Amino acid sequence: MWLPLIGILIGIILGMTLPINIPTAYSSYMSIAVLAALDSVFGGIRASLDRKFESDVFISGFFGNAILAAGLAYIGDRLDVPIYLCAIFVFGYRLFNNFAQIRRHFLGLLRKKSYVQEKPDK
């Protein structure tokens, strides 16, 4: 469960300290790829909490979603159609949905813990 969170923290630290500049022409591709990758990370955390995590599904989804999203953005650029908006909508929806499920999981644990503490012993 902690491995995805540690990976996110390492990525944030490296991203903030290393001098990596992405050209403006690629910024839309990169932003969509990052959104897709975050969707996979939150999906992995959710699957881990549900005890259904499979590393091969996570890794293939992580890279597959990022490549698919960047590919959609590229095709949309070539066709002069904003297809990337579809990827933003879908991955954004899934990201918030996974976050909501993770939040509900932890709230359920807190409620159960407080119920056990408040319950009088007979």
Kindly report the three-state secondary structure assignment for every residue of 45-110. Answer: HHHHHCCCCCHHHHHHHHHHHHHHHHHHHHHHHHHCCCCHHHHHHHHHHHHHHHHHHHHHHHHHHH
- Give pLDDT tens digits for 65-80: 888 888 888 888 899 8
- The predicted-structure confidence for 42-54, as pLDDT tens digits, reads as follows 898 899 888 898 8
Domain total for the chain?
Answer: 1
Position 19 in a domain = no
Axis crossing angle, helix 55-79 with helix 84-118, rounded to the nearest 10: 150
What is the pLDDT at residue 101? 93
Has residue 17 been placed in a domain?
A: no
Range of the domain at 105: 27-118
4 has a pLDDT exceeding 60: yes
- Can you give the pTM of this predicted structure? 0.71
Which pLDDT value is given to residue 118?
67
